[in-house]
Every structure is written in C-alpha cells, then in structure tokens.
A and B are shown apart, each in its own frame.
Chain A
Amino acid sequence: MRISIDRMKYNQEGVFVGINNELRLHLAGMGLRAGKKIKMITREPLKGPVVIQVDHASISLGIGIADKLIVEVDE
C-alpha cells in the first residue's frame, strides 16, 4: 500500500518510493532516496514536523514536504 509519509503510524516502517521534482536532490543530500527503508519516529500535532529515521540518522521534515513523499508500507 502506498501512503504519504505524514500518514504513517508511530514506529511504522516502509520503503521510500521516490519523488520526481527539485525536492529530490535536497532529500538525497539528507540520505533519503528511492528504495531506502524508513521508520516513523514522531509526528508533531497541529501540522508540526515529522521525524523519520533513515539508516542511523533522524531526519525531520516539514509537513508540507512530508505529505508529498510516498512510501510503500505493509497493510
């Protein structure tokens, strides 16, 4: 099932599918690229940022970015 990152549940894991625009390079610099396993760490309320784990790094993403990024998760 494919959902956007901001809709993942706490501790849920998934595989980043990718994105095809200028954001791609920005994310690649932070280690997030297609095929990467990611894990939801926390999602702040009230349209706050989303923190995910990629490899051994935590990355926080603004909700405006997180809702554009698609991950493949198990049902």
Chain B
Amino acid sequence: MKVLLMGHPNVGKSVIFNRLTGANVVSSNYPGTTVDYTQGYMRVFDRDIEIMDVPGTFSLDAKDKAEEVAVKMLMENPDAKIICVIDTSKLERGLYLALEIIERGFPLVLALNMWDVALDKNIVIDLQKLEVILGIPVVPTVAISGEGISTLVEKLIDVEPVDILHISNTMKLSCLMTSPGCAGCKGC
C-alpha cells in the first residue's frame, strides 16, 4: 500500500511524515520547504506501508516546479491512498484541493492539522457534518505534538474512494438545512 501526503504549502505535511515514519526530514514554518519528495515506510498490523511526502500544491493545475512534482507523483501512483493535510484555520481553501483529488477517484483521508491553532482562533468546525457531507474520514491533528496521528492511520487503512456527485448531493441537502448565514454556493 502506498500513501501520498498532499496539501497546501506550509500546512505540516512533512511534520506528519516524520511522525508516521520516525524520519527526520527538514520541516520549517515556511512555504516551499519540501520541493522534492521523500519516501519512507511505516509498519501497521504487519503490513509495510510506503509513505511519500509530496511538495505542497494549491491545486492540481501545477503553477511551478514543486507543484509539477506533486501533480506528477499523484498521477504516477493511481493506486495510492491520499492523506490530504489541511491547515484547519484555512479549511475552505484546503477543501478545494481535497475535492480535486477526490474527483480523480483517489481514496482520501482529511487531516485537519494545526487543530490547536484553530481552537485558539475560536474557529469551530463541525467534524461530523463535514464527514457526512464528504463521505470520508476527517481527523483533527496536531502534528507537532502527535495528537490524532494514530487515528489518522486507523482511518487510512479502510478508506474507500467516494463519488464526487455524492458529495455535491449531500452538499445540496445540507445547504437546505442550514442557516440564513449561507454565503450562497448557488447549489440549491
């Protein structure tokens, strides 16, 4: 089994990679620290799982060399499972990339990293609702302290691809049920 760590620049992919593999790749609080990929292994239930730390990318239409590497890696590993790492306080823009990856048929687990920072900023996220809408596991993590990492691995083992149409349907349903504060996705 192969796992790709994908996400925007500077969301903590490399820190999660280090947590999962026990490696020590360079991570810094600066976008673009990882420009090439790193490979590592972890062992879960006597299975070797290959993990690849992918450079950060905003979308699957590559805009620079590092993003090209990221997109190429995804395309070269059609049977891989994806951990999409998102900076929790910038959830919405991260979902754009996650949806793009789901749309291409990859099984995906969402890691809402820097969960503690979002808490400090008083950002409240309805995890259950997000899971229902997306139909995929959503795991809050704090990579630097290790919180949520083991849950992430558990969920990763059984994750299945979801149909993007299913997401747009549940999205419309939940839109109908929600509040007047709707920004208007024009889906309903």
| Interface positions of A (Cβ within 8 A of B) | 25-26, 28-31, 35-36, 54-57
Contact = CB atoms under 8 A, between A and B. Distances in A.
A31 B183 contact: no
Contacts of A25: 59, 61
A57 B93 contact: yes
A35 B183 contact: yes
Given A26-B63, A28-B96, A55-B93, 6 more contacts: A26-B58, A29-B61, A30-B58, A36-B183, A56-B90, A57-B93
A28 B96 CA distance: 7
Name the 9 nearest CB pairs between A and B, nearest first: A31-B93, A29-B59, A29-B58, A57-B90, A56-B89, A29-B96, A30-B58, A25-B61, A28-B96
A26 B93 CA distance: 11
Contacts of A54: 93
Nearest to A54: B93
Interface in B44-58: 58
A55 B90 contact: yes
Contacts of B123: 56
15 contacts: A25-B59, A25-B61, A26-B58, A28-B59, A29-B61, A29-B97, A30-B58, A30-B93, A31-B92, A31-B93, A35-B183, A35-B184, A56-B90, A56-B121, A56-B123
Nearest to B183: A35
Contacts of A26: 58-59, 61, 63
Which of A30, A31, A35, A54 has the largest number of chain B CB atoms within 10 A?
Answer: A31
A31 B59 contact: no
A61 to B, nearest CB: 13
